Amino acid sequence: MNLPTLILALPLAGFLIALLVPRSSPQGSRIWAIAISLATFAASLALPMLFDRSGVPSGPGEQFTLDVPWIATPNIHYHVAADGVGLWLVLLSTFLTPICVLISWRSVQNRVKEFYAFLLLLEFGLVGVFLAQDLFLFYVFWEVSLVPMYFLIGIWGHERRIYAAVKFFLFTMTGSVLMLAAIIYLYNRTQTFSYPAIVEMIWNGRLTFAPGEQMLLFLAFFAAFAIKVPIFPLHTWLPDAHVEAPTAGSVMLASVMLKMGTYGILHFCLPLFPSAARACAPWIVVLAIVGIIYGALVAMVQPNMKKLVAYSSVSHLGFVVLGIFTFTQIGMDGAVYQMLNHGISTGALFVFVGLLYERRHSLEISDYGGVATAAPWLATAFLVTTLASIGLPMLNNFVGEFLVLQGAAIANFKWAIYAAIGVILSACYMLWMYQRVFYGEAKEEVRRRVADLNLREWAVVIPLIAMMVWMGVYSQTFLPPVSRTTARVLEQTQVNVPFQVRVERPSRMPAEAANVR
């Protein structure tokens, strides 16, 4: 059986069977969900193991391709394959789903059956987004993943959950209808939805767009992705959705759903509309840097832990966007690596915030203090995650941020300087939060309620921390397939770019010096 199809079929079957589990047995739903999500994870482990890492591929670079016609007219195919970026994002989704099942084990007590059914449907949608090679199929998964997340936030969220869920749905929907229009337009031009085929056409010069046309198409795609990332002025749905979602929802939202946006930019916007992407790059980079600094500053003043982590996501995702739009190999590698890092470390932060909430029933930082005395292991694990998040060497985020900054420095040194401010700020707000929550005098309430990690929670925490260390110490496991794909994207962005004099940094120095003189 085709591997991507297997990875898609398992959660889908899991969803359908989860609907049949009797309502009277919530434990049955939980056990089914953990079993099927672990099975999916096991199946997806085969992806990196069997992925052919040798040399630069002659073909399009996707592997495990399965391409069967789905609908005859218009010509829609069920076309799935994994490339070097999608591969890891699939793995990230399947890795986090069992974790989400475990952390919801006790915290979700009402409508348990539906909760796990939606979680599995969400996994199906997310995995599909990263595997689809047919534009139409991509759109289908893109929207399908929206529905379960809407319900997860709306049913199991906190007080203002309905507002957050509806806002989340409407923001995303608005962006995605624009993308749909662009997809249809592309189809009418090319008579195919096949992503590799369209990329090939552009590469060969058989498909060219007028500049204005290309710009509009780029913007239509970019709008959908920018809302999902979210890029600075479009981020307002994110704090609401994150704060109101249940822990599992926040984890999936932050760790995987936001990556749909950055993955989309890298996978679609750049290769399909190279000149428009380059033309817009300076503006987008500015927005990304504003996002980095703004997100960090706003995070610093949040009294609510979840909101703090949510704004830190805005800041971290700014790095990813910056890395992509440096148009350098290193920057793009860093961006992809940062997507994965953010998935692990921010996912872990949400898990810990969820664990604290389960114990103390509050998200306000001021309600805590001295947790380290009451729950030393929880504090230690949280500390590791905090350090990972602020980019301590030997932990995962450092690698990604380093590469992004290096790429930015190559493209334009000023970008790197501004972005680096974000790194410093992130250390401030994270450590400050850590200090306020874990150190100091342990309050009565905290001492009574906050217990240390139990066995189930250890099972959640250990894989996450192990991944942070692994990704920080030995990035070679992950980066080679990524570089291969980003190299191809980069190569594709060189196509039909009108010739322009790109003055390299060193050669401009004497000229500037001359001006000064």
DSSP annotation of 109 reads -
Q: How far is the CB of 140 from another protein (least distance, A)?
A: 4
Closer residue to another protein in complex, CB, 187/203: 187
Determine which residue in the list 81, 120, 132, 165 makes contact with another protein, applying CB under 8 A: 165
Q: Closer to another protein by CB, 46 or 170: give it.
A: 170
68 binds another protein (CB under 8 A): no
Report the residue number, 135 or 461, with the smaller CB distance to another protein: 135
CB-CB contact of 135 with 186 (8 Å): yes
In the complex, the smallest distance separating the C-beta of residue 146 from another protein, rounded to whole angstroms, is 7
Element (H, E) at 327: none
H helices present in 453-495, as ranges: 455-473, 479-492
Cβ 101 vs Cβ 33: under 8 Å = yes
Residue 150 binding another protein, by CB under 8 A: yes
Site for another protein in 72-111 (CB under 8 A): 72-74, 111
- When the beta carbons of 141 and 402 are compared against another protein, the nearer one is 141
Q: Can residue 16 be called a binding residue for another protein (CB under 8 A)?
A: no
| Residue choice 17, 35, 42, 170 for contact with another protein (CB under 8 A) | 170
Helix, strand, coil shares of the chain, percent, nearest 5, are 75, 5, 20
Closer residue to another protein, CB minimum distance, 21 or 433: 21
Q: Which stretch binds another protein (CB under 8 A): 155-163, 339-347, 420-428, 440-448?
A: 155-163
User: CA-to-CA distance for 423 and 398, rounded, in angstroms?
Assistant: 10
**Residues 6 or more apart from 216 whose CB is under 8 A from it?**
182
Q: How far apart are CA 329 and CA 404, in angstroms?
A: 10
* Binder among 140, 339, 404, 471 for another protein (CB under 8 A): 140
Contacts of 414 (CB under 8 A, 6+ apart): none
In sequence order, the 6+-apart residues with CB closer than 8 A to the CB of 91 are 44, 45, 47, 48
User: Of these, 50, 68, 162, 466, which contacts another protein (CB under 8 A)?
Assistant: 162
CA distances for 17 relative to 12, 105, 120, angstroms? 9, 19, 10
Considering the complex, state which of residue 171 and residue 325 has its C-beta at the smaller distance from another protein. 171
50 binding another protein? (CB under 8 A): no
Catalog residues that contact another protein under the rule CB under 8 A: 23, 71-74, 111, 139-140, 143-144, 146-147, 150-151, 154-155, 161-162, 165-166, 169-170, 173-174, 177-178, 180-181, 184-185, 187-188
